[in-house]
Structure 1
Amino acid sequence: MEDLSIHHVNLELSENRERHRTGGFSASNSLVVRRGDPFRISVQFKGRPFNPNTDSLKIDVMLGGLYTMMPVTFSRKESSAPWNACIDSNKSTPQNLSIFISSPAFASVGCYKFQLCLSTQNNRGSCVCGSFVVLCNPWCSEDAVFIPFEDEREEYVLSDSGLLFMGTPMNPVSRPWSFDQYEPGVLEACLDLLQVSPQHQVNRTKDYLKRNNPVYISRVVSAMINCEDDRGVLKGNWSEDFKEGVHPSKWAGSGDILKQWAKFGYNPVKYGQCWVFAAVMCTVMRVLGIPCRVVTNYNSAHDTNANLVIEEHYSETGQKLNYSKDSVWNFHVWVECWMTRKDLGSDMNGWQVLDPTPQQRSEGVFCCGPAPVKAIKYQCLDRPFDIPFVYAEVNAAVHTIIWSQGNVVSFSTDTERVGSFICTKAVGFPRLQNITGDYKSIKSSSSTLSSRSSIVSDDSTLSRGASSQRVTAFLTLDKSPVAGEPIRFTVKVVNRQRVPKKLIVHLNAQAKEYNHGPSDAFWENHGVMQLAPMEVKVLQQQIHPAQYKNVLGDNLINLAVVLEDTATRERVLAAEEFNISSPELIIKKDSIVPNKEHSATVTFINLFSHPVSGVLTVTGAGLINGRTQFRLNSLRPGGKVEQRFSFTPSMSGVKMLHASLSLSNSNVTVRGFKMVSINSV
């Protein structure tokens, strides 16, 4: 009889994908498993039957220069090694052995090679080689990324779509995003990211050893999402010139970015801004098995000199001036990853801030975190990594200064504005979740439509005039502004003295990007107001669509009022920054099952005051292969258009249909999304 040899090794892809919740990666044709849980392979022999008394098997597992040898035993109890392999007697025969391979819960993340070797009594042997990918395991209680709730694992690891929040605290805008972790080529690009990193290039063995730690992995990924120090994924651009690449607001998912980066030799993709950096990092972390969510911090301070103070400067007529390197971004987007912190102690376990947007160097590299959210809330500023920087982003004070002819005429302090609202997508639902209380102690709840009044500080060394409040101003938007409708707002003025007042009133509006100072005023109004003793007056104002149509898009509006007392020359400032909501696309669809063609309809109503045209793009990870595009011809104001399209879902689960209409001759993009539940047949 022919001697025993290995004929074939079956990696049991279907069973292992289900067991390890990696079925979404089926497009890669790789065995993808999560550390800490066993996976099964089947060995088919040819020749005589396998004899456990005379024949033996061993498995060599290699990750770069790291090497582990496992004898295949008949019981897990026979081996106490971190890696072990044992025969499943219930599914084995002398011609076909079923073997469970178990990796430790602290195994390094990466693409492993293995070699299965057979030795017989005649010292003849045969070997078969293969490979598999090991990811972190949030389902394993011994893994550092274990998260105890199934709905959170579904949301923060398995979900391939979500919402990013932009706009302002008073009017958050949800932007649909496709994380695309299951799209062909994305898994490979995320693994390549680790290989291309400087840490790996400098010392591969050391890098492989450290990849067992999510703290280390997250810092590598944070640095590699931007390209400032390495061959990272994205090039940031905060100018107005995007001719050499894609405007950041045009991206709708991570897949195109990661695949383009890998396809063109790991050259950075142009361009990204904070939400793009964060969303791509979320994709990479979810692929690697580390729970991750995208977080928006509204009124986020960029404190360049680390003094926890941001200065904002205004002219005497209320125009915001670009006098300071410090700034308050209307919103800033980063990610949080869930992990234990053995390096800091169990009180720092849980969500960790990571920010791939290149703002400030950390240990010489443009990355940020992981900074425990608990450390930020409880002001543990002496611990790594980058906690003081993140603390300032959510807690810095804002000093507002009014200038007149080179002199400071008013000074005020606001300790509530920065980090006033922090949110993420809710678990299982397409809406936001307020997580401000995770970062800071909430003194009192405030309306999202509250106004902000700045008054000369009583104790300020820069204040001019009396030490008591004489006039107070409040500026309030009547409703959240919508494109095509007038912006209506109210200015309430209070005379707190028992003497009459004559006030000069300056109103102006400036367009600004979320992270820049504003441009020149596009609307202004000036006048004089008389106030009787202790009188309260209310001014009703509006800005018509024709007056703001040239600043629509991703711009925000800085609206300010300055009151000047003609008798004392004192100034009072009230300001509000807000966004103008665009119309939404409405998507309607029928009930859906996998692998069958379905149709849906996108509806757009032109609420703008002028005709529009553009390109409609429809995408959906797991629903549409690539993208479907349609041309929209000139549509009159108030006009309605419906576009029907077909798609064939490739997998079950909750997926997102995403439609975007890029209007011609403007930076406006109209968006809409529909969550689709695909039932298995």
Structure 2
Amino acid sequence: MSQSPEKKPRLDDPCINLNLEMNRKAHYTDSFENPSLIVRRGFPINITTTAPIDGVKLVYIAGTKHPQRDSQRLFGWKLETKSSETNNYQLTPPSNCAVGRWTIKFTIDAKEVEMQATILFNPFCKDDQVYMECPEEQEEYILSDTGLVFIANSWRIKPQGCGWVFGQFESRVLECCLALLERSPLTPTSKSSATLVSRSMTALVNAQDDNGVIEGDWSGDYSGGTDPSEWTGSVDILLQYLETEKPVKYGQCWVFSGVLVTVLRALGIPCRSVTNIRSAHDTENNLVIDIFHDRHGNRLESDDSVWNFHLWNEMWTKRPDLPDGCDGWQALDATPQEMSDGCFQAGPASLNAIKSGAVYLPYDARFIFAEVNADRVYWREDSDGNYRIKKIDKKHVGRMVVTKAIGCNDVDDITDQYKHKEGSEEERYQTRLAVTFGTEPDIYENVEDEDEVKMKFHCEEDYIIIGQPIEYTVKLILKDMERATALFNATASVYGYNGKFICNVQSHKCELLLPEQKVFKGRIESSEYESVVRSGSIIKISVMYDLKEATDMGFLEEEIPLRAPPPKVEILSQEPYIVGVPIQLKFSFKNRFSSALTGGYFRLDAPGFSSRDRLEIDQKLLEPGIECSYRVEYKPRKKGKINLVVSFNSDQHKGLHTYKHINVQNSKSDDF
């Protein structure tokens, strides 16, 4: 009878050489700052032992929700002898094995030797469901640890890229991502599916119902936590969550999107952040946004809303669970908006399914379709108290969907991946088809005639830098009537980026004799609005008229985008920038607001530099028109293209961002 092997669970057992440097480089995991074996499924792991291997057992670290068991079966793993003389072996996990932490137990010279390995999805392996063929895409969507998220509160101007440090290779970030995976309700078999893993991560990145990573808050009162606009990267969020085991306060959509990129890229799933400009939030599942006005023209409260912009994510995978043609980019969203299968999660939904109107396909294609292509339906109360459709705005929602361009800090318009050209026959067919799967399939019937007066809105500036006055005009043009008296009402309001009303800042009521008095001129001083705006806010001008001579009432809503004055970044050191050699930086900010700022400080977020550190300015009170500055040293730790993300914050205004792109070399002789 053979003797039972003696158990010696040691990572550094002299019986086995894990060839860490060689394996990590071959598996594209050498950037991880974890001193352990991190490999990708489908690729061989080279190991060397002091004696022949007599047996192998596998243990998958499934997490607290599922028991761990040793198994003599290899589940498709292959152990091949490359050299019997040197005891060199290749152990290859199958391209569809469960991702996460594994313990491999070898029997060598009657002793049991353990080897710990973290197995990730493999976009570099043709047999893996997340395989990406293009090397530039692999670099952008897996290996890049800095990038951009786009904050865009108007489709008329080029979306503004804000630097974000994903930091998926930073120390302990992967540890946090693996802890999330092990906390998920997924079975070990389910953890082989990129679709199911990414769906589960959308639930765990938010904290609404499962004590996940980030607690969302749109109230404007962020006491007890961090203002969402202050965050410029994922690393500090994930490390704080790992250390405290409590949700991090607070986040909004760009924070959820940035963190989800980090988590999925760390696990090996290609992922990117996506911004939808004018994003609908349909709460009634009818795939339209309902806007109600009473008989007097007053707008009524509604749960439906249109966000100035909304960020979600896309991940790349095959979809064997869906019909042909649904592989590729899949939309998913970690921002807690609506529940799906009992928790706050959304996606993945195939972009091809969304574009074709096949909103019945999993997961949550109906909700994401409405975000990009819902029509705004205006209802007006009649004299009998019934509400009838006054008009349908078919172009307001989903004006542009953008992401970061591959290999550069530019914007890539991907709207055509979600919808056909606005107003085309294909787009209208897609919308009508999708609505038939909603709760009101006949909503397009009985639309009233158009208004008697056409209104044209004009603002000279494409956007307003906060601190400047706002001037606009509204022109009223009669269609069939020669003369009329219009009871005119123009209200200027501040709205949050999520479409929620904050406050009115100005209101005008007057009578206009048409056509003589056909132009209304409005002006809003900076002192009327700058103290109440938040990150991503807009000024919404709501205009209504009621004709005395006819039973006709019309309304118009226009948005004036706002932008905060950004800080400036100056690199004082000369190129080239070398790994380990300090770079001297200078940050500056000029107060362009109409009032003084207190408690001012800068933050720098970059790989290897914690954004938790407040770089406080000397001035306790920064008066209007005065500039402050701060100098800091940054020492890059590795070669590559990175973004240095800088923000200025004060008691009055948070998250005034900018970034600087640099190339870091190993030595002066390196070529990019």
Q: So what's the TM-score if we normalise by structure 2?
A: 0.86
Check conservation: 1:381, 1:388, Cα contact below 8 A.
yes
Structure 1 counterpart of 2:243, from 248, 256, 263: 263
Check conservation: 2:586, 2:629, Cα contact below 8 A.
yes
Name the aligned partner's letter for residue 208 of structure 1. Answer: P
Q: SS at the partner of 1:151?
A: helix
Q: How do residues 114-263 of structure 1 correspond to structure 2 at under 5 angstroms?
A: 114-119=104-109, 125-166=110-151, 167-171=153-157, 172-199=159-186, 207-263=187-243
Q: Hey, what's the Cα distance between the residues in 1 that align with 2:553 and 2:304?
A: 23
Cα-to-partner distance string for 1:322-374 (whole Å, 9 max, x where unaligned)? 52122222222211110000111331001111112222222222211111011
Cα-to-partner distance string for 1:452-505 (whole Å, 9 max, x where unaligned)? xxxxxxx98685xxx464210021332111112222223222222251222232
Check conservation: 2:314, 2:332, Cα contact below 8 A.
yes
Q: Hey, what's the Cα distance between the residues in 2 that align with 1:84 and 1:469?
A: 72
Once the two structures are overlaid, the 10-residue window that deviates more, 6-15 or 190-199, is 6-15
| Alignment partner, residue 32 of structure 1 | 38
Name the aligned partner's letter for residue 567 of structure 1. Answer: E
Q: How do residues 506-525 of structure 1 correspond to structure 2 at under 5 angstroms?
A: 506-525=489-508
The sequence identity of aligned pairs, in percent, is 32
In structure 2, do the counterparts of structure 1 residues 153 and 578 end up closer, same or farther at CA, with 3 Å as the change threshold?
Answer: farther
Q: Hey, what's the Cα distance between the residues in 2 that align with 1:423 and 1:186?
A: 27
| Alignment partner, residue 513 of structure 2 | 530
In structure 2, do the counterparts of structure 1 residues 536 and 530 end up closer, same or farther at CA, with 3 Å as the change threshold?
Answer: closer
Q: Hey, what's the Cα distance between the residues in 2 that align with 1:328 and 1:626?
A: 32
Q: How do residues 340-419 of structure 1 correspond to structure 2 at under 5 angstroms?
A: 340-401=318-379, 411-419=390-398
Q: Does 2:654 align with 1:660?
A: no
Q: Hey, what's the Cα distance between the residues in 2 that align with 1:314 and 1:104?
A: 60
Q: Hey, what's the Cα distance between the residues in 1 that align with 2:472 and 2:296?
A: 18
Q: SS at the partner of 1:661?
A: strand
Check conservation: 1:318, 1:507, Cα contact below 8 A.
no
Q: SS at the partner of 1:346?
A: coil
| Alignment partner, residue 453 of structure 1 | none
Q: How do residues 50-65 of structure 1 correspond to structure 2 at under 5 angstroms?
A: 56-64=53-61, 65=68
| Alignment partner, residue 449 of structure 1 | none
Check conservation: 1:292, 1:337, Cα contact below 8 A.
yes
Check conservation: 2:389, 2:446, Cα contact below 8 A.
no
Cα-to-partner distance string for 1:103-122 (whole Å, 9 max, x where unaligned)? 21112101111122224xxx
| Alignment partner, residue 556 of structure 1 | 538
Name the aligned partner's letter for residue 17 of structure 1. Answer: R
Q: Does 2:28 align with 1:21?
A: yes
| Alignment partner, residue 665 of structure 2 | 679
Q: CA deviation at 1:57?
A: 4.0
Q: Does 2:455 align with 1:473?
A: yes
In structure 2, do the counterparts of structure 1 residues 560 and 496 end up closer, same or farther at CA, with 3 Å as the change threshold?
Answer: same
Q: CA deviation at 1:85?
A: 2.5
Q: Hey, what's the Cα distance between the residues in 1 that align with 2:295 and 2:527?
A: 27
Q: CA deviation at 1:217?
A: 0.8
Name the aligned partner's letter for residue 30 of structure 2. Answer: G
Q: How do residues 495-510 of structure 1 correspond to structure 2 at under 5 angstroms?
A: 495-497=478-480, 499-510=482-493
Name the aligned partner's letter for residue 132 of structure 2. Answer: I
Q: CA deviation at 1:261?
A: 1.6
Cα-to-partner distance string for 1:253-297 (whole Å, 9 max, x where unaligned)? 211221222212x32222222222222111110110000111122
Q: How do residues 266-281 of structure 1 correspond to structure 2 at under 5 angstroms?
A: 266-281=245-260
Q: Hey, what's the Cα distance between the residues in 2 that align with 1:158 and 1:318?
A: 54
Q: Does 2:528 align with 1:547?
A: yes
Q: So what's the TM-score if we normalise by structure 1?
A: 0.85
Q: How do residues 279-678 of structure 1 correspond to structure 2 at under 5 angstroms?
A: 279-313=258-292, 321-401=299-379, 411-443=390-422, 463=448, 467=449, 469-479=451-461, 480-497=463-480, 499-532=482-515, 537-554=518-535, 555-589=537-571, 590=573, 591=575, 592-625=577-610, 627-632=612-617, 633=619, 634-664=621-651, 666-678=652-664
CA RMSD of aligned residues (A): 2.8
Check conservation: 1:478, 1:490, Cα contact below 8 A.
no
Q: Hey, what's the Cα distance between the residues in 2 that align with 1:111 and 1:482?
A: 50
Check conservation: 1:231, 1:267, Cα contact below 8 A.
yes
| Alignment gaps of 5+ in structure 2 | 1-7, 62-67, 425-443, 668-672
Check conservation: 2:451, 2:553, Cα contact below 8 A.
no
Q: CA deviation at 1:678?
A: 0.7
Q: SS at the partner of 2:645?
A: strand
Name the aligned partner's letter for residue 31 of structure 1. Answer: L
Q: How do residues 77-92 of structure 1 correspond to structure 2 at under 5 angstroms?
A: 82-89=76-83
Check conservation: 1:68, 1:83, Cα contact below 8 A.
no
Q: Hey, what's the Cα distance between the residues in 2 that align with 1:318 and 1:653?
A: 57
Q: Hey, what's the Cα distance between the residues in 1 that align with 2:383 and 2:647?
A: 47
Q: SS at the partner of 2:87?
A: strand
Check conservation: 1:183, 1:621, Cα contact below 8 A.
no
Cα-to-partner distance string for 1:575-625 (whole Å, 9 max, x where unaligned)? 112331011122122421101112111122222223324333333332425
Q: How do residues 60-79 of structure 1 correspond to structure 2 at under 5 angstroms?
A: 60-64=57-61, 65=68
Q: CA deviation at 1:516?
A: 4.4
In structure 2, do the counterparts of structure 1 residues 155 and 66 end up closer, same or farther at CA, with 3 Å as the change threshold?
Answer: farther
Q: CA deviation at 1:154?
A: 1.1
Q: CA deviation at 1:33?
A: 0.6
Q: CA deviation at 1:415?
A: 1.4
Q: CA deviation at 1:386?
A: 1.3
Q: Hey, what's the Cα distance between the residues in 2 that align with 1:375 and 1:410?
A: 29
Once the two structures are overlaid, the 10-residue window that deviates more, 378-387 or 347-356, is 378-387
Q: Hey, what's the Cα distance between the residues in 2 that align with 1:217 and 1:307?
A: 29
Q: Hey, what's the Cα distance between the residues in 2 that align with 1:344 and 1:404?
A: 46
Q: Hey, what's the Cα distance between the residues in 2 that align with 1:425 and 1:98?
A: 44
In structure 2, do the counterparts of structure 1 residues 220 and 352 end up closer, same or farther at CA, with 3 Å as the change threshold?
Answer: same
Q: CA deviation at 1:680?
A: 1.6
Check conservation: 1:161, 1:176, Cα contact below 8 A.
yes
In structure 2, do the counterparts of structure 1 residues 137 and 540 end up closer, same or farther at CA, with 3 Å as the change threshold?
Answer: same
Q: CA deviation at 1:191?
A: 0.2
Check conservation: 2:163, 2:644, Cα contact below 8 A.
no
Check conservation: 2:454, 2:479, Cα contact below 8 A.
yes
| Alignment gaps of 5+ in structure 1 | 72-80, 120-124, 200-206, 446-458
Q: CA deviation at 1:517?
A: 3.0
Q: Hey, what's the Cα distance between the residues in 2 that align with 1:406 and 1:524?
A: 29
